Amino acid sequence: MLFSSIPFLYYFLPVTAVLYFVLLGMPSASMDLKNGWLLAASLFFYAWGEPRHVLLMTASILLGYLSGIWMEAVISRAGKDTGGSKARDRQAKWTLVLCILMQLGLLVYFKYADFFIRNLNGLTGSSLPLLRLKLPIGVSFYTFQMLSYLADVYRGEVPAQRSLIRLALYISMFPQLIAGPIVRYSEMAGQLENRTHSLDDFAWGIRRFVLGLSKKVLFANVLGELCEAFKTSGDKAVLFYWIYAAALALHIYFDFSGYSDMAIGLGRIFGFRFPENFDYPYIAGSITGFWRRWHISLGVWFRDYVYIPLGGSRAGRLKGIINILTVWMLTGFWHGAAWNFILWGLFFAVLLILEKTGLLKYPGKGRLLSHVYVIAAVMISFVIFDAADLKEAAACLAGMFGVGELPAVSMECIYYLKSYRVVLLAAAVGATPLCSRLTERMRRSAVGERLLNLLEPAVLAALLLLSTAYLVDGSFNPFLYFRF
C-alpha cells in the first residue's frame, strides 16, 4: 500500500488514527495495548500488497527477538566468567556475529541470490537456474533496523527487549516500514515504552504529511513521466540526455524525500519522533556535504555500524581509504543487486576520497563552482543508478557527453523542455530552502505570523485536494525505493 494512494489516505489512515486515539482517551488502556493496535495495523498495511511476505518479516522479528535475549544472556554469563576480559569479549563478539549472520541470511537469500548465481554462471560457464524470488518490500530497511537493535544490545546501550509487541512494532511500524528513515533502536526504545501526544504534534504531523504527499504527487510523479518519455523517445539528443539527468535527479529527490516527510509526519501523529532524512542536499558545496544531507539515516547507520567498527580513518590514510571504499561498495550494493549500483557507490567513494585527501581542490574554493561540481556529479551518479545495467549506463553517459553522432538538440527535446519547463523550474526552487526561509522570515513579525496562521490551513487543504485529484485522475504513481 502506498502512502500516496486513495485507499491509504481515505480508508486505512483515518480508521487507524481514530481507533488509536480512542484507545489514547481510555485511562485503562495500556501503552502495550496502543502499541498492539499499531502493530496490527502495520501488519495489515504490509500484507496489503503481498501477504506472503508478512511471514518473512515475522520470521525476522522472532529471530531477532530470541537472538537479543540469547545474546544478552551469553554476555551476562561471560561477564561472570573468571576467564578474563579477552575471553568475555570473544564470546560476546561471536554471539553477535552469529545473530547478524542469521538476519543477513534472509536478506541475502531473497535479494542477492540471483545476482550471485548469475555472476557465477558468467564466470564458470555453468547454467545454474535462477531462483527468481520476488523481493519483499522494505526488506533492506527492516533488516538494517533489526541489525541496529542487535548491535545496541551487544554494546550495552539498551537491554534486550522482553516485549515481543514492542520489538515487532519497532520493526514493522507502517510509517517507516517500507522506505525509512532507518531508525536506530536506541532512539526508539523509550518511545515504545512511553511517549507523549499533543494537539500541536498532531497538527505538525498532518502538515508534514501533506507537504510530503504534495512533493511526491505534484513533483516526483510528474518528473517521473518526463523520465519515462525520454526512455521511450526515438529522437534523442545531447540536450535531451541532460534534461533527463536533471529531471531524474529531481524526481529521485522529491520521490524519496517526499516519502520521508510523510513517514516523519505520520510518526509524529502517533507520538513518535523520527530523525530527519533530508536537509536540502542540492545546496551542498561538496560531495561530503551532500551525503551529510541526503538519506541521512542510511549514512549515519553505515558510519556507526560499519565505518567506525572497521576503524574509520584512525588506522592511517591507506586503511581509511580502504574503509571508505568498503562502506560505499556496501552502500551501493544495499540499494540493489546489480553492478550499476556497486559502480554508483564506488563513484561516490572515489569523489569522497579525493575530497578527503585534498586531491580535489574545487569544493569550497568558489561557491558557484563547487555547486556546479556537486550537481553535475550527482546527475551523473543517478544516471548510473537508474540504468537497467552497466551497458545502459554507459550509453546514457556517452549521450550526455556527445559521444557518437547524436545531434545537440532535437525537436522532441524542445517539445518536452517547453512542456515541463514550469515543473522543472518549480522543482529546482523547491529543492532549496528558499520557501522555508521566507516562511521563517514572515514568522518573525506579528503581521506575518497572523497571515501564515490564516493561510496555512487553506494552502494545506488545497494541496491535499490537488494531490487527491492527481491520484484519482492519473495512473503514474510508482515509488522508486520499493525495490530496495
Indicate the pLDDT class of residue 215, thresholds 50, 70 and 90: very high
- Of the candidates 220, 136, 221, the one whose C-alpha atom is nearest the C-alpha of residue 177 is 136
Instruction: Determine whether 335 is an active site residue.
Output: yes
Given this model, what pLDDT does residue 300 score?
A: 93
- Of the candidates 295, 375, 392, 294, the one whose C-alpha atom is nearest the C-alpha of residue 341 is 392
**pLDDT value at 12 more than 60:** yes
Give 483 or 133, the one with higher predicted confidence: 133
Calpha distance 212→263 (Å, rounded): 9
**pLDDT value at 483 more than 60:** no
The 3-state secondary structure of 236-285 reads CCHHHHHHHHHHHHHHHHHHHHHHHHHHHHHHHHCCCCCCCCCCCHHHCC
Given this model, what pLDDT does residue 80 score?
A: 58
Given this model, what pLDDT does residue 234 score?
A: 86
Q: What is the pLDDT of residues 160-172, one digit of tens each?
A: 999 999 999 999 9
Report the percentage of the chain scoring pLDDT > 70.
94
Q: For the purposes of burial, counting CB atoms within 10 Å of the CB of 18, is it exposed (0-12), middle (13-18) or buried (19 or more)?
A: exposed
Given this model, what pLDDT does residue 316 score?
A: 78
**pLDDT value at 361 more than 70:** no
Residue 62, all three cell numbers: 522472532
Residue 52, all three cell numbers: 506472503
Question: How many other CB atoms sit within 10 Å of the CB of residue 275?
Answer: 17
Q: What predicted TM-score, i.e. pTM, was given to this entire model?
A: 0.91
**pLDDT value at 479 more than 60:** no
Q: Which helix (H) or strand (E) holds 14?
A: helix 13-24
In terms of residues, how long is the chain? Answer: 484
Q: What is the pLDDT of residues 220-247, one digit of tens each?
A: 999 999 999 999 988 899 999 999 999 9
Least confident of 58-72, 271-285, 342-356: 58-72
Q: What is the pLDDT of residues 290-338, one digit of tens each?
A: 999 999 999 999 999 999 988 887 877 888 899 999 999 999 999 999 9
> Which of the following is catalytic: 197, 295, 335, 371?
335
Given this model, what pLDDT does residue 276 score?
A: 93
**Across all residues in the chain, what is the average pLDDT?**
89
